[in-house]
Chains A and B, each alone.
Chain A
Amino acid sequence: MKNWITIALILASANTLALSVDEIVSKANQAAYYSGADGIADVSMIITDASGGERSRAFRILRKNTGDETQKFYVYFKEPADVRRQVFMVWKEVEQGKDDSRWLFLPALNLVKPIAPGDKRTSFVGSDFVYEDVSGRALWEDTHELIEETDTHYIVKNTPNNPDAVDFSEYTVSIDKQTFLPMKAEYLDKNGKLFRRVEATRVETVQGYPTVIESRVDDLARGGHTINTFSNINYDTGLNERLFTERFLRRPPREATR
Chain B
Amino acid sequence: MKHRLKKIGLIVLISPILFAADLEPSGFLDARYGIRTQSDPNSDQETLNELRLQLGSIWYHDLFTATVRSDFIYDSVNNLSDPIDLREFNILCSPLDWMDLKLGRQILTWGTGDLLFINDLFSKDWKSFFAGRDEEYLKAPSDALFISFFPTLGNIDIAYLPRFAPDRLIDGERFSYWNGTALSGTPLRTDEPNSDEIAARISRNFQGLELSAYGYSGHWKTPQGFDPASGKNTFPKLNVYGTSARRALLGGIANLEAGYYDSSDGVSDQVRLLVGYEHEIAQDLAGAAQYYTEQKCGDEESRHVLTLRLTQMLMNQNLTLCLFTYWSPSDQDGYLRPSATYKLSDHWKLETRGNIFFGKDNDTFFGQFQDNNNLSISARYSF
Interface residues of A (CB under 8 A from B): 47, 49, 55-56, 79-82, 84-85, 99, 101, 106, 108-111, 114-119, 121-123, 125-127, 224, 246-247, 251, 254, 257-258
Contacts and interface: CB of A to CB of B under 8 A. Distances in A.
Interface in B138-181: 139, 148, 150, 155
Given A81-B383, A251-B92, A122 B284 contact: yes
Contacts of B231: none
Contact of B280 (A101, A119, A125): A119
A118 B150 CA distance: 30
B346 A116 contact: no
Could you say which of B108, B109, B246, B343 has the most chain A C-beta atoms within 10 Å of its C-beta?
Answer: B109
B237 interface: no
Contacts of B27: 81
A108 B192 CA distance: 27
Contacts of B136: 106, 108-109
A114 B253 contact: yes
Interface of B: 24, 26-28, 58, 60, 65, 92, 100, 106-109, 135-136, 139, 148, 150, 155, 208, 210, 246, 248, 251-253, 278-280, 283-284, 286, 316-318, 343, 345-347, 349, 380, 382-383
Nearest to B344: A53
Binding site secondary structure of chain B: strand
Nearest to A242: B150
B109 A119 contact: no
A236 B155 CA distance: 29
Contact of B252 (A85, A116, A258): A116
B382 A82 contact: yes
Contacts of A251: 65, 92, 100
B251 A80 contact: no
B24 A47 contact: no
Contacts of B347: 80-81
Given A109-B139, A257-B60, 6 more contacts: A114-B253, A116-B286, A117-B252, A121-B283, A126-B316, A251-B65
B281 to A, nearest CB: 10
Nearest to B252: A116
